Structure 1
């Protein structure tokens, strides 16, 4: 039985948080006892974890002034739980996990893991976090990146871990799959013409996600319909052929009303869940060349330079102008690529092996 303590900033609806939930639930069924610590806030995924029997502790770290107390509390939790593994998630979670691991007694009897989810981060916004993680990067036994681009970026920025593993995100092919019978219902609900080609973009509003480039690109494809999903998208100005839904939890269903999945990220993306999940649902991918986007997409869609709305618009137009049957076949090829290379089971098995657990299935 492995006892694992996960440390993450919060448990909202982001990609890292969702992947942690998937991993924890898979491991919970196979000889792993787990506890998840949210540094700042619980979020919607906390309830999912607790319903699966995985305890969640919220440290309430709402300001830097509370940092020392939160680290001390986390160290106390480690001392009481005596985990075999302390797993940090993303920059803040990594730092908190490392410091608390050092403070808590018995560190020689447990292992420290870090998880890196980003690639070419904006130095102006995230430089200090990257530097602090780099300074402490020799502390963990293993650093896990979810992309090759993320590993390379962090090695170039001073990371010197004992062991650096790349484990791409895994996508659940049963949750994300084509359901042709749902298409008409989704479009009717959204008021979208059944013959329109729909390009869906799923991301919170953040400079990293570069909604501006997507909106400018869609303005160049007036005959197509753009669909924005994600926190804050319902609060921005939109061109006439784009609609926004805000935060939604029925992403797999919304995929059924779309034809093309778009990522316009400008920087920082490691492994884009949005692109991979859309591909698994049978959508044709159009993405900017950030993180491992080109590796994920392969020859099943279009990859263009970031921050280039003209190139992105032309890529969307090329896919939109294809005959519907050809576009559907390309979408099925995209799904096959996810099934072959990025299925959830593969990621779960790799994590289980790193943790010393026989199986996560």
Structure 2
């Protein structure tokens, strides 16, 4: 068997449920590209480690504590890179960009591509370590990476304004597997039963971890306003993602304050996002900052109508197939949800979601994304097909 034309080592903070992690998984398992992928998680294997390994991708987890760098872990990473001898190293997110980029350079690899998944907006709400790492990355952006891949045009512009080298920035929109993210009536029936909700109940939802930038408070205030004014049409709201559980005291206090306990279903994280999407009539992105929000395109691919705040590339993703409202304005979001639910009720769920799926199929093709990444890796490494 001939050796693959290109060997790429990926370094990512972790492999749990998240947008960057899902993009890496889709990229590393995309067939027919003649690329050997090796994945290194700075922390643990999360939900994607086993899946990657099952697809034939080598996975290494360094067991570093999240947000902290251990000297032993850094040495292990450097040694692994030197031993693997990749043609290119692709890092994902700020901490991995910094740690992985430096380790790769010390291991003798110069073909390094960073991966920015943050919009660059509202960084004051991010952790202190994330802000410090971003500043360090900006200073090193002209010397460590040969390319810096952003998923969104807005993210590239904002990071250039924050000091990243403009001539290294490349925009590659995310791509999606339309065979996996697709309308699925059986999954819809199954998850509705799991939530204890009948088919005739309007269900809105949000797939996002508990994080200030996701602004769940904005969504819940919008729902509370709809209920208060009798504009809710009997809706229920399902929250899906890390810390969307009864154990989240801050979330629980907010639900109690807004008197929404009987309106909100806390699903917690799920490793079957397509099924979760199919259970919804409407997906709502309530964030105050985003880069290229995967969940919006994933919902659209499943034929789910979307309401989004105008952050990152969210408005670009939905185009004219959904509703766009200003961020951090609960009443505007409430009106958007009300309008969207009315549209879904009038046209029917399937008809209302058709245009969104067609837009994802036309603009966010997985093959195009994979080919674009490979073109970057070939350019920075000098390895030709």
TM over 0.5: yes
Residue aligning to 1:214: 219
Residue aligning to 2:307: 286
Shift in Å at residue 133 of structure 1?
1.0
Contact 1:186/1:257, CA 8 A, preserved across alignment? yes
Asked if residue 158 in structure 1 is aligned to residue 179 in structure 2, the reply is no
Asked if residue 342 in structure 1 is aligned to residue 364 in structure 2, the reply is yes
Contact 1:289/1:305, CA 8 A, preserved across alignment? yes
Contact 1:280/1:338, CA 8 A, preserved across alignment? yes
Residue aligning to 1:143: 148
Contact 2:235/2:263, CA 8 A, preserved across alignment? yes
Residue aligning to 2:316: 295
Q: d(CA) in 2 for partners of 1:103 and 1:148? A: 31
Q: d(CA) in 2 for partners of 1:137 and 1:293? A: 26
Q: d(CA) in 1 for partners of 2:48 and 2:145? A: 26
Q: 2:347 aligns with which of 305, 317, 325?
A: 325
CA-based RMSD of the aligned residues comes to 2.0
Shift in Å at residue 318 of structure 1?
0.8
Task: Specify whether residues 141 and 334 from structure 1 end up closer, same or farther in structure 2 by C-alpha distance, changes over 3 A only.
Answer: same
Q: d(CA) in 2 for partners of 1:250 and 1:63? A: 24
Residue aligning to 1:253: 275
Residue aligning to 2:11: 7
Task: Specify whether residues 93 and 83 from structure 1 end up closer, same or farther in structure 2 by C-alpha distance, changes over 3 A only.
Answer: same
Shift in Å at residue 243 of structure 1?
1.1
Asked if residue 118 in structure 1 is aligned to residue 122 in structure 2, the reply is no
Q: Provide, for residues 73-106 of structure 1, a one-character-per-residue CA deviation record: whole Å limited to 9, x for no partner.
A: 222222211111011111011111221122123x
Q: Secondary structure at the match of 2:179?
A: coil
Residue aligning to 2:333: 312
Contact 2:12/2:41, CA 8 A, preserved across alignment? yes
Q: 1:60 aligns with which of 63, 75, 80?
A: 63
Contact 2:111/2:377, CA 8 A, preserved across alignment? no
Residue aligning to 1:51: 54
Contact 1:141/1:162, CA 8 A, preserved across alignment? no
Shift in Å at residue 286 of structure 1?
0.3
Residue aligning to 1:233: 244
Q: d(CA) in 2 for partners of 1:101 and 1:250? A: 34
Task: Specify whether residues 167 and 80 from structure 1 end up closer, same or farther in structure 2 by C-alpha distance, changes over 3 A only.
Answer: same
Q: d(CA) in 1 for partners of 2:8 and 2:288? A: 34
Asked if residue 97 in structure 1 is aligned to residue 108 in structure 2, the reply is no
Q: Which moved more, 1:191-200 or 1:66-75?
A: 66-75
Q: d(CA) in 2 for partners of 1:342 and 1:64? A: 32
Shift in Å at residue 165 of structure 1?
1.0
Q: Provide, for residues 303-345 of structure 1, a one-character-per-residue CA deviation record: whole Å limited to 9, x for no partner.
A: 1111111111110011112334255323101111111111222
Q: Secondary structure at the match of 2:213?
A: coil
Q: Secondary structure at the match of 1:306?
A: coil
Task: Specify whether residues 337 and 59 from structure 1 end up closer, same or farther in structure 2 by C-alpha distance, changes over 3 A only.
Answer: same
Asked if residue 265 in structure 1 is aligned to residue 287 in structure 2, the reply is yes
Q: Which moved more, 1:342-351 or 1:69-78?
A: 69-78
TM-score of the superposed pair, with normalisation by structure 1: 0.92
Task: Specify whether residues 274 and 304 from structure 1 end up closer, same or farther in structure 2 by C-alpha distance, changes over 3 A only.
Answer: same
Q: d(CA) in 1 for partners of 2:104 and 2:41? A: 16
Shift in Å at residue 302 of structure 1?
1.0
Task: Specify whether residues 137 and 204 from structure 1 end up closer, same or farther in structure 2 by C-alpha distance, changes over 3 A only.
Answer: same
Task: Specify whether residues 257 and 102 from structure 1 end up closer, same or farther in structure 2 by C-alpha distance, changes over 3 A only.
Answer: closer
Task: Specify whether residues 70 and 183 from structure 1 end up closer, same or farther in structure 2 by C-alpha distance, changes over 3 A only.
Answer: closer
Shift in Å at residue 34 of structure 1?
2.2
Task: Specify whether residues 67 and 161 from structure 1 end up closer, same or farther in structure 2 by C-alpha distance, changes over 3 A only.
Answer: farther
Q: 2:88 aligns with which of 85, 96, 113?
A: 85
Q: Secondary structure at the match of 1:208?
A: helix
